[in-house]
Amino acid sequence: MEEARANGPNGELPRPVVEGPTNPMVTPLLTDLYQFTMAYAYWKAGKHNERAVFDLYFRKNPFGGEYTVFAGLEECIKFIANFRLTEEEISFVRQSLPSSCEDGFYNYLRGIDCTDVEVYAISEGSAVFPKVPLVRVEGPVAVVQLLETPFLNLINYASLVATNAARHRFVAGKSKLLLEFGLRRAQGPDGGIGASKYCYLGGFDATSNVAAGKLFGIPLRGTHSHAFVSSFMSPDEIVGKSLHSSDGSTTCEDFVSLVQTWLSKIQWSNSLNGTFGETNQSELAAFMSYALAFPNNFLALVDTYDVMRSGIPNFCAVALALNDLGYKAVGIRLDSGDLAYLSCETRKFFRAIEKEFGVSEFGKMGITASNDLNEETLDALNKQGHEVDAFGIGTNVVTCYSQAALGCVFKLVEINEQPRIKLSEDVSKVSIPCKKRSYRLYGKEGYPLVDIMTGENEPPPKVGERILCRHPFNESKRAYVVPQRVEELLKCYWPGNCSDHKREDLPSLKEIRQRCINQLEQMRPDHMRRLNPTPYKVSVSAKLYDFIHFLWLNEAPVGELQ
Amino acid sequence: MEEARANGPNGELPRPVVEGPTNPMVTPLLTDLYQFTMAYAYWKAGKHNERAVFDLYFRKNPFGGEYTVFAGLEECIKFIANFRLTEEEISFVRQSLPSSCEDGFYNYLRGIDCTDVEVYAISEGSAVFPKVPLVRVEGPVAVVQLLETPFLNLINYASLVATNAARHRFVAGKSKLLLEFGLRRAQGPDGGIGASKYCYLGGFDATSNVAAGKLFGIPLRGTHSHAFVSSFMSPDEIVGKSLHSSDGSTTCEDFVSLVQTWLSKIQWSNSLNGTFGETNQSELAAFMSYALAFPNNFLALVDTYDVMRSGIPNFCAVALALNDLGYKAVGIRLDSGDLAYLSCETRKFFRAIEKEFGVSEFGKMGITASNDLNEETLDALNKQGHEVDAFGIGTNVVTCYSQAALGCVFKLVEINEQPRIKLSEDVSKVSIPCKKRSYRLYGKEGYPLVDIMTGENEPPPKVGERILCRHPFNESKRAYVVPQRVEELLKCYWPGNCSDHKREDLPSLKEIRQRCINQLEQMRPDHMRRLNPTPYKVSVSAKLYDFIHFLWLNEAPVGELQ
């Protein structure tokens, strides 16, 4: 993230100026109306500046898994760093509230920003778990409420799609290229841009989305579509047929004829014999044109007519002609049919070409597969055996088709230094009160063992010292842990006016991506597996446990059986 | 949509200037890289200006239904009206393509816009069906390809979420208020903004999303959250206790005491006796504060502690105190628990209050329900019986949780006046070739009977004349129809330089919403029902049928059994 610096009026070392959110539509109005009605009611009650602490967390990992990748923090910080209501926005708020609301409130809105707000968060790209605060926001209650909806909006989808991407990576394995192709099916323009960013964060290698490439420096991939293939009629329409050799030393004046010669060699070859008859000429013309335009980057989509009877022989003829001129074709893409079978048949054909014509490495030609891939189909491909080197994944990864939302919530845990609890008949929805600290405790083998939340002022867990970790709501679940390493999870990403804390730098997207990869690699494998993963333990200190249950009893009404 | 007009250089009557897309991130770079690599290959082959026709359509209705609401057109038109690559964008494209690409291409990119492009579309807000083109785009092949991804991105989610909203409306019934509360769970910032726009289009009444209210004039709704309730400790902290009466004639100096008096009346009432003991005082304080801030708009969230033992009696005490001062409370919101049961119990309580204290209309107090509502839960509530007047729906409607993507595609159907077909082993994926016209034929009872596609130059179906409608791929499925009304579906929304056609005006969002409501009301009920709806028929003319199958045979390779 780029930061501009300007000297303050008294020449003091200035705070870094953080640029605004990626999407200019992220403004203070990107919030629920009730945040403004509440702000008015707080203001009217003289309560707006009471200092409140809110926790942002989720209750359940997505996709039936036992981990989540935290993402979206940078956009939140960019948002609050530039949080100010414009006159136009204030005037819209005025229109939207009852006319009985007093003018003084709009003057108040004119003055607010996030200099009184502090934001503590787990580092973006971390593995995170239910109930543990991802973000803790402290500040004047009316201002912090206004941040609720945009924070949830910026974090919910980002974390969901990053997790989804990480899960796809896990199934595909480290050695495969993962390409995100989802822009056309994404939930709106920045559903697409966000997907590209957070899929990359979650471990994808590249995207087809040019805008995301420009905004975030994500590597771009893409060649051609079926329409390109069917836009050609026959090789006769190719006008410019000449192609320089790769080293520039010679020129082939008729690349079209060279390809056609190779095609008949393939057709008449004994080892390849009988696998196909006439190939589709419009496809052949399209491949030749594409190769003439991109002789160094020839990757062809081979399923417009028929993969094995047309696409693959046509591709090989063009690739062999390119080879004559010193170019190395990149490979093919399959976008339909039985990808396991077709990739294996294709690989055999490539190997047969290598053998028959003595073109070394031809058998290792790249095979990309696309067409509605998801975790299940990747897993099925692995089980069947396949020869795919790269997967292009669209709809399922970007829209998180198997679970389209993450349920992060934003709960008041303290106001005026008074702890608050949100009760519910559903125990999983009871909030954990108090301004808290959280720690990740690591075991002997280097794996994280448990996350523990404590009260703000409790002494932190110490390496080598036994500590009791309790389930927050189930009194029988508890365990002693002797941590070999203790990591404090919440770091200060926005100190506001509070000078006690240095602001953590916002790392680059590449660094966040690497953190994600490292974090998931250090998890114990049974937490990560697709089927029946073991839940990672989340706990509270004994002291916090007692306090939660004291407060709960205090707030819950006593029933009367009738 | 606002339009600015400026005189052209020769004083000629100018084309209206259309403002840009709602989201400034919608630029020509919001596309897949392969659109640019193909554009280069077309350009290199001298083929870039060949006139191509593409159809945008989907293959299957979403959500297990038999209809779809078409949305997103206005944003597409705003996009192409302003389609130009900036120097910065061109320079990024240059960076992203191989360095071997020739400079001339970038000069070409500098010059392109959509003045040579024509866009024909079904009116936004219409009921639409599989295979029938929603949009037909004609123009230079390289330019039209660049439009593919943004058009799909802008239409896929818009149509999906509008359809989802319409389905929720269908189950909820016309008389209920439907409020969209999904911003916090939406897929990114304009996943949220788009959801608010297209839920309104699909028949919702209002949104909580302030930014969407400002951008599109959608009515806004919202009051307060659980955090507001738990931010109060007790009525003692309320400082400003006075409230003017509604007509301004008197002032109640101690509204807090007035409420407390009412609360004991309720507690000691015979008819309400025994339903609750002490209510939660922090909740009572929050309700009083909210009422003091919004005496005309008092709507309280009643489930922070316990609905029947605390929330409802507290609400009633405040509402009755307001009533003394001439204000009418708006109602309550339930956000957890058994909504059918709680809404009925609440209604009984309100009626008992009306009777006991002679407050007319109190029994009709508004009841809003929220908490993970979707089509199924609305249907279940209807079956159980409930007393809810308004539904707040979030996650499920905005993320289209039950099906997170619509699969619109963009297929080449003609180039240089040559019809093109895209084959597939899966018949449902074979495209319908040719530049076509489409008509909706209506029967005697006013219902639409069938959509029919014909070749561009076939005579249109005539009212009262029998016409054969054939299934495009199943030879045995055909039917004669004598239409009582014939509606041509594709209208010209962007004529480019083509002066034959007048450009259709883009209607306001309210008008599109009304079209959607009208269109769905005029469908035969069996197409609309939730369970096992009857498919609406989509057909081709006899002539087009014959041509499709001629072309198919012509392009498909002949297999060799081995």
Give pLDDT tens digits for A350-373: 999 999 999 999 999 999 999 999
Whole-number Å distance between alpha carbons of B481 and B477: 13
Q: Coil, strand, or helix at residue A356?
A: helix
User: What token pair was written down for A436?
Assistant: 């808290």
- 3-state SS class at A168: helix
- Name the residue facing B225 among A34, A194, A296 (closest C-beta): A34
Residue with tokens 């028949």: B203
Interchain contact A52–B (C-beta under 8 A): yes
**What is the sign of the dihedral through the CA atoms of A148, A149, A150 and A156?**
positive
Q: What angle do CA A519, A521, A522 make, to 5 degrees?
A: 70
Contact criterion met (CB below 8 Å) for A480 and A468: yes
Contact: B186, A153; criterion CB under 8 Å:
yes
A93–chain B Cβ distance below 8 A for any pair: yes
Chain A residue closest to B21 (CA)? A189
Contacts of A413 (CB under 8 A, 6+ apart): A53, A54, A55, A419, A420, A421, A431, A432, A433, A434, A435, A436
Chain B: residue whose CA lies nearest to A395:
B405
Contact B210 A31 (CB under 8 A): yes
Side-chain half-sphere exposure of B264, counting CA atoms within 13 A: 5
Amino acid at site B417:
E
**Distance from the Cα of residue B173 to its chain's centroid:** 17
Quick one: which of A119, A66, A48 has its CA closest to A410? A119
Closest Cα in chain A, distance from residue B527 (Å)? 26
Q: What is the pLDDT of residue B424?
A: 78
Q: What is the dihedral of CA A207, A208, A210, A216, to 10 degrees?
A: 0
Strand locations in B171-240, DSSP E? Answer: 177-180, 206-207
d(CA A388, CA A335): 12
Tokens matching residue A262: 């190779």
Q: Contact at 8 Å (CB) between B124 and B507? A: yes
Nearest by CB to A560, from B45, B277, B411: name it.
Answer: B277
pLDDT at B559: 63
Decide if A552 touches B, using CB distance below 8 A.
no
**Cβ(B40)–Cβ(A293) below 8 Å:** yes
Residues of chain B found within 8 Å of residue A36, distances taken between Cβ atoms:
210, 222
Q: In CATH, which of 3.40.50.1100, 3.20.140.10, 1.10.260.40, 3.30.930.10 is domain B3-166+403-555?
A: 3.20.140.10
Instruction: Choose among A244, A236, A226, A294: nearest CA to A260.
Output: A236
Taking an 8 Å cut-off on Cβ atoms, the answer to whether A231 and B25 are in contact is: no
Q: What is the mean pLDDT of chain A?
A: 94
Q: How far apart are alpha carbons B429 and A305 in whole angstroms?
A: 12
Name which residue leads in pLDDT, A501 or A383: A383
Please give the span between the terminal C-alpha atoms of chain B, in angstroms, as a whole number.
62
pLDDT tens profile A447-475: 999 999 999 999 999 999 999 999 999 98
Instruction: To the nearest 10°, report the CA torsion of A371, A372, A377, A378.
Output: 70
- Nearest residue of A to residue B154, measured between CA atoms: A188
Q: Which of B153, B236, B345, B426 to mutate to test the interface with A (most CBs of A within 10 A)?
A: B153
CATH 3.20.140.10, chain B: domain bounds: 3-166+403-555
The answer to whether B248 contacts chain A (CB < 8 Å) is no
| Contact in structure between B201 and B74 (CB atoms under 8 Å) | no
Residues 149-208 of B with CB under 8 A from A: 149-150, 152-154, 156-158, 161, 181, 183-195, 208
A68 Rama sector, left if φ>0, alpha if ψ -120 to 50, beta otherwise:
beta
CA-closest candidate to residue B263, choices B309, B326, B332, B305: B309
| pLDDT given at position A6 | 41
Residues 413-442 of A with CB under 8 A from B: 415, 418, 420-426, 429
A557 touches chain B (CB under 8 A): yes
Please tell me whether residue A98 adopts helix, strand or coil conformation.
coil
Chain B contact set for A141 (CB, 8 A) = 231
Residue type, B310: S
Which pLDDT does position B1 carry in this prediction? 36
Q: β-strand B436-442 against B251-252: which pairing, if any?
A: unpaired
SS3 assignment, position B479: strand
**Cβ–Cβ gap A412/B230 under 8 Å:** yes
Write the pLDDT tens digit of every residue in A518-536.
999 999 999 999 999 999 9
- pLDDT for residue A432 is more than 60: yes
Q: Kind and range of the H or E element at B101?
A: none
Backbone dihedral angles phi then psi of residue A84, each to the nearest 5 degrees: -155, 140
Per-residue pLDDT 10s for chain B (562 aa) are 334 434 444 444 445 578 999 999 999 999 999 999 999 999 999 999 999 999 999 999 999 999 999 999 999 999 999 999 999 999 999 999 999 999 999 999 999 999 999 999 999 999 999 999 999 999 999 999 999 999 999 999 999 999 999 999 999 999 999 999 999 999 999 899 999 999 999 999 999 999 999 999 999 999 999 999 999 999 999 999 999 999 999 999 999 999 999 999 999 887 776 666 789 999 999 999 999 999 999 999 999 989 999 999 999 999 999 999 999 999 999 999 999 999 999 999 999 999 999 999 999 999 999 999 999 999 999 999 999 999 999 999 999 999 999 999 999 999 999 999 888 777 888 899 999 999 999 999 999 999 999 999 999 999 999 999 999 999 899 999 999 999 999 999 999 887 778 899 999 999 999 999 999 999 999 999 999 999 999 999 999 999 999 998 887 766 666 5
Query: What whole-number distance in Å separates Cα of residue A456 and Cα of residue A435?
Result: 6
Strand partners, A118: A138
Instruction: Kindly state whether A507 is in contact with chain B, defined as any CB-CB distance less than 8 angstroms.
Output: no
Residues in contact with B376: Cβ distance below 8 Å, sequence separation at least 6, in sequence order: none
Residues 274-303 of A with CB under 8 A from B: 274, 276-280, 282, 289-290, 292-297
Q: Which chain B residue has the Cα nearest residue A192?
A: B153
Q: By CA distance, what is B151's nearest residue in A?
A: A184
H or E element at residue B172: helix B141-172
Distance CA B251, CA B245 (A): 6
Orientation angle between helical segments A312-324 and A255-268, nearest 10 degrees: 120
From chain A, the residues in CB contact with B208 under 8 A are 32-34
Give the closest-approach CA distance of B146 to chain A in angstroms: 11
CA angle B209, B210, B211 (to 5 degrees): 95
Helix pair angle (B189-201, A141-172), 10° resolution: 100
Please, where in chain A does CATH 3.20.20 lie? 223-388
Interchain contact B399–A (C-beta under 8 A): yes
How many angstroms separate the CA atoms of B490 and B477, rounded? 25
What's the 3-state SS for A61-90? Answer: CCCCCCCEECCCHHHHHHHHHCCCCCHHHH
Task: From chain A, pick out residues whose CB is under 8 angstroms from the CB of B221.
Answer: 33
Residue pair A441/A452 in contact (Cβ under 8 Å)? The answer is: yes
Please report which residue ranges of A385-472 form alpha helices under DSSP H.
Answer: 395-398
**What dihedral do alpha carbons B240, B245, B250, B255 form, nearest 10°?**
-40
Determine whether the interchain pair B33/A220 forms a contact, defined as Cβ–Cβ distance below 8 Å.
yes
- Of the candidates B211, B195, B117, B111, the residue with the CA atom closest to the CA atom of residue B160: B195
Tell me whether B445 touches chain A (CB under 8 Å): no
Closest CA to A113 of A26, A28, A55: A28
Tell whether the model's pLDDT for residue A236 goes beyond 80.
yes
Distance from A273 to chain B by nearest Cα, in Å? 12
* Number of A–B residue contacts, CB under 8 Å: 413
Architecture of domain B227-378: Alpha-Beta Barrel (3.20)
Nearest-angstrom CA–CA distance, B548 and B544: 6
* Displacement of CA B200 from its chain's centroid (Å): 6
B139: left (phi over 0), alpha (psi -120 to 50) or beta: left
Which has the closest alpha carbon to B292: A479, A294, A101? A101
Task: Render pLDDT for A108-145 as a digit per residue (tens, 0 to 9).
Answer: 999 999 999 999 999 999 999 999 999 999 999 999 99
Out of B183, B239, B424, closest to residue A32 by CB: B183
Task: In whole angstroms, give the CA distance from residue A438 to residue A461.
Answer: 10
Of A34, A208, A404, the CB nearest to B222: A34
pLDDT of A269 reads 85
- Shortest distance between the Cα of A458 and any Cα of chain B, in A, equals 24
Cβ atoms within 10 Å of B103's Cβ, excluding its own: 8
Helices A73-81 and A141-172 cross at an angle (nearest 10°) of 150
- Write out chain B residues lying below 8 Å of A30, CB-based: 183, 189, 192-193, 209-211
- For B295, name the nearest residue in chain A, comparing CA atoms only: A100
A182 to chain B, closest Cα gap in Å: 9
- Count of beta carbons in the 10 Å neighbourhood of residue A505: 11
- Kindly provide the ipTM of the predicted complex, given to two decimals: 0.94
Interface contact flag, B556 A424, Cβ < 8 Å: no
| Residue B161 three-state SS | helix
Q: Report CB contact under 8 Å: A96, B426.
A: no
| Per-residue pLDDT at A560 exceeds 90 | no
Burial B391-417 (b: 16+ CB within 10 A, else e): bbbbbbbbbbbebbbbbbbbbbbbbee
Q: What percent of chain A has pLDDT over 70?
A: 95
Token duo for residue B369: 């329900």
Please tell me if residue A230 touches chain B, with a CB cutoff of 8 Å.
yes
Pick the CATH number of A223-388 from 2.70.70, 3.20.20, 3.30.70, 3.30.2000: 3.20.20
| Cβ <8 Å between A33 and B221 | yes
Distance between CA B48 and CA B302 in Å, rounded?
Answer: 63
Which residue ranges does chain B devote to CATH 3.20.20?
227-378
Q: What DSSP string describes A105-153?
A: HHHHHHH--STT-EEEEPPTT-EE-TTS-SEEEEEEHHHHHHHHHHHHH
The residues, ordered by sequence, that sit 6+ positions from A186 with a Cβ below 8 Å of its Cβ are A192, A195, A398, A399, B153, B156, B157, B187
Q: CA-to-CA distance for B171 and B375, rounded, in angstroms?
A: 7
Confidence (pLDDT) at B106: 98
Q: Measured between CA atoms, how close is B446 to chain A, in angstroms?
A: 35
Q: Specify the length of chain A in residues.
A: 562
Which chain B residues have a beta carbon less than 8 Å from that of A72? none
